[in-house]
Amino acid sequence: MIGAMACVVRRDLALALRRKGDAANTLVFFVIVVSLFPLGVGPERALLQSMAPGILWVAALLSALLSLARLFEPDYADGTLEQMALSVEPLTVLMIGKILAHWLLTGVPLTLLAPVLALQFDLHADAIAVLCAGLLIGTAALSFVGAVGAALTLGLRGGGVLSALLVLPLFIPVLIFGSGAVVAVESGLDATAHLQLLAAFLLVSVVIAPWAAASAVRLALD
């Protein structure tokens, strides 16, 4: 099963390399949203530092929502999902592979870009380190939870908007704990509790989301 999951990850990564524009759109959106705020609010250092955690995390959340449409839709259109459903390997395992590939293509690049963009807000080094740690965990949780919404709206007209409405309430805990960790460090407090809550949310998502996404995909294919 691990081999099948790895094959799905490699396949999705290879396809993404052929469609570099799709992956780049998410990163460009993230950069634009984050970069516009310092230009809009001015160079006040204290104001930028107080706003930075929320701005960076909201931009990451919106970027994750933007990329959800590409998670299953291309494979649904060309019949690949049907072949996966008919495979001898459990569909849940294959869903994990697709979600991991989505995280590698969106969450990891966003995390790598975040320290550079955080410099615009004059964040301290400790806050940037916690921001990156939180994004690494939080974007993985966003990918797993978002996969359920993408699967539930598969094949529906306007499914992207409906998917966003379904998963946005579930994204809020990630936003609160992720930005709260950075705020805690900026205030001189310990951010461990926030990161632990993020990790707990991720573990729950890893257990539930692939099974729910697989069930929703089967319903969409019936």
Domain ranges for the chain, please list them.
2-221
Whole-model pTM: value is 0.90
**C-alpha closest to that of 65 among 1, 147, 6, 9:** 147
Per-residue pLDDT of the chain (222 residues; tens, 9 = 90+): 778 888 989 988 888 888 777 778 888 999 999 988 888 877 787 888 888 899 999 999 999 888 887 888 888 888 888 888 888 888 899 999 999 999 999 999 999 999 999 988 888 899 999 999 999 999 999 999 999 988 888 877 766 677 778 888 889 999 999 999 999 998 888 899 999 999 999 999 999 999 999 998 888 887
DSSP 155: T
Give the position of tokens 């992720």: 178
- State the Cα–Cα distance between residues 195 and 178, nearest whole angstrom: 7
Alpha helices in 19-124 (DSSP H): 20-41, 45-67, 69-78, 80-86, 91-105, 107-118
**C-alpha closest to that of 160 among 69, 83, 88, 82:** 69
- State the Cα–Cα distance between residues 107 and 112, nearest whole angstrom: 9
- State the Cα–Cα distance between residues 214 and 171, nearest whole angstrom: 20
